[in-house]
Structure 1
Amino acid sequence: MSFAAQIKIPATYMRGGTSKGVFFKLSDLPVEAQVAGEARDKILLRVIGSPDPYGKQIDGMGGASSSTSKTVILSKSDDPEHDVNYLFGQVAIDRAFVDWSGNCGNLTAAVGSFAISNGLVDADRIPQNGLCTVRIWQQNIQKTIIAHVPITDGQVQETGDFELDGVTFPAAEVQIEFLDPADDGEDGGAMFPTGNLVDTLQVPEIGTFEATFINAGIPTIFLNADALGYTGTELQDAINGDEQALQRFETIRAYGAVQMGLIQDIAQAATRQHTPKIAFVSPPKSYISSSGKTVNADDVDLLVRALSMGKLHHAMMGTAAVAIGTAAAIPGTLVNLAAGGGNREAVRFGHPSGTLRVGAQAIQDEQGQWQVKKAIMSRSARVLMEGWVRIPADTF
């Protein structure tokens, strides 16, 4: 019996924010995978090690969590207003499924660095020393993101003293600007798809909840922690070790997705795992983070816990942080009320690993509709390994 040989594909394994993923240049992928479709999905699944019924992704590059089961495809932009096109694929762990419905805000922090180091940014835009402004076109959500990447002696600077809760070691700070982060109405409506800052969400056999539905950064459903029976100080094990709780969150998420107009029937939520996100908020409280560090109530404006791909996130998704900052800036949302209400241009929120600050400026137009032109946060990024990934030639 003969078996297929392995093929190798140029790739870079990078940390961006509190996530890790495998990065590819579009032109380095096999020809069949340079266009969207079955071949591309099969290759990415095999690279990451999915589907894995054991849930460990031992035979791939994935790390068996939503934060580490990620892929990125980058190409030089033909648009003079952008440097690089960024396509994100969230790979399911136990199913043969790649979700292309949203962005990864954490890995966005690594896009600029990869683009500079791999010749996707014109040389005349890269300073010898200082910050390189990388203009990113995020293809999944059709939005512009600006990354300010530090450069030293003409090379990307990755080491530094910027500390990010959820990441063990300090690194160089990368400031990210999400321009016009709210939805433009093409997918599930405007920033507030129902037209309301707070809605009533009825979930059969589970309950009725106040909810803020927002399309900013990533479509997100915000609930109050106490309405769910939580304090807002929970760490991963409190949620992820409770299968009944996880199923309840997934059911709430499905009904919320229907109310947001993202899907037509709750059954469709199973094929749209990456979006919408579901999160719960509460006013400030002191707690011990997952690293053992004390987060004092006085150090934060509110607490937020968010689920990604069916599990409580160990820190906070970057795109969900954009949603948090945007909702906090708009008086009357559940996020804003948890932070104490009123007008805000930035919030620091507590998450399972510590705290994060995100800024956003909101204005109302003449019709009373809210608009947010920019959301800003700082992350960091680092190349972990580069070379080739190998997969069996009969994968696709």
Structure 2
Amino acid sequence: MAEVFRHQDGLASSMGDVLGILEKWRHSPPPDDLDGAVAELEAAFRFLKGAEGSMCASVRLGLAMVLGNLHRDAGNTEQALQAYDRGAQESVDLSENPARNEMANLHTNRAIALLGVMDAARALEDLEKAIRLRESLPLDEEPVFRWGFAAGWINRGDALRMLSRHDEAVASYQRGLQELEPLEPGEAVKWRRAVAWNNRGLALRELAREEEAMASFAKSIDELEGGEEPRAVIARSAAMLHRGDDPQQVLAIVSPLERQSAEAAEVSLKARHGLARRLCDKLGGSEGDWIADATDLVEEGLELERAWETAGVESMRPVACDLFRLGLRVYRICQPQFLAEFVLESLDPEVSDGAPVDDPHFQAAAVEEVGRALRESLERGVSGERGEKELAIGKSLRAADERLAALITSRA
């Protein structure tokens, strides 16, 4: 983690200090002492407060973007958006290429934050502004301008795909890949191309163009063959999973990174989902370890998603909800005595931090399965050897049903 350097009395005392703070945090990850980093950036803002001129406005724009990036990467989306909005209000001279590029950077970074909270419509607006700002820049003279221009098109594809505008998304990814072609094929360019090929494949799959999608996934994997950087491992693993490779193999590759990277966590979650579904093809068959293996995968995946929810990442919620439904079904059919515990562990915030109790899809799935389990318990009856066990199951399910009702009502 980056070390926080504090200026005397927490103040920036010169323009040199301000520029040093800006460059220091421009490419740094969130430090352990995020408050200290924020204090440095705010000190730089204070030094420039009321200062006129294009240069001062451009520096404030940069400070706002850096502050937004630190908050975004730390999972503080609301604070990140406030910082980006602060920078977008600066009156910079957009006839100057560096200022034009910096404003485009701000719009792109704000869009990435918006995509993280599934606000694709607003993200698309930002990305199209970034593209318009950069299209008149000397792309052939400055590789960094072309890199940003390509990133705008690729992220625009992500926004369009999230909005189910898949034909447009494919075209946007293609344009981004085209813009990357003139750049030297270093690790960063290979990674960016791999991400674009992978996401293009997902858009093609939504259009039922499966052969083209599989070719796109293969290109993504080829781009990163042998890459050992974490982001290369994550991107290659995602493409492998989407291509249909063994999810057990993918999980083994990417799970060591799942607590450090939201992208890795999403791939891990999808791999667990695929493995659990494969195990559940045996549902209704003979008893065996598959039940324990499937429920372990479900619970590990949901715990992982909750951990990222507490860090402000909501993009894994749809996959987590599918995994939750799968777990509900396995417990209801195979181990109804544990269903109530599973439901409350997954949805009660007093039991688990980050529990998505406000999500209507989670709520509906839980209410439906608990109700069905109660009816099935009544149908089995309480006579014979299973009588005491059925009474205990019914009692736990009724308690879970009442707790669910209270949680849902309190948030209505």
For the superposition of Structure 1 and Structure 2, which TM-score range results when normalised by the shorter chain?
under 0.3
Determine which structure has more spread, i.e. the larger CA radius of gyration.
Answer: 2
Q: Taking CA–CA contacts closer than 8 Å with sequence separation of 6 or more, which of the two structures ends up with the larger relative contact order? A: 1
- TM-score after normalising by structure 1: 0.25
Larger helix share, 1 or 2: 2
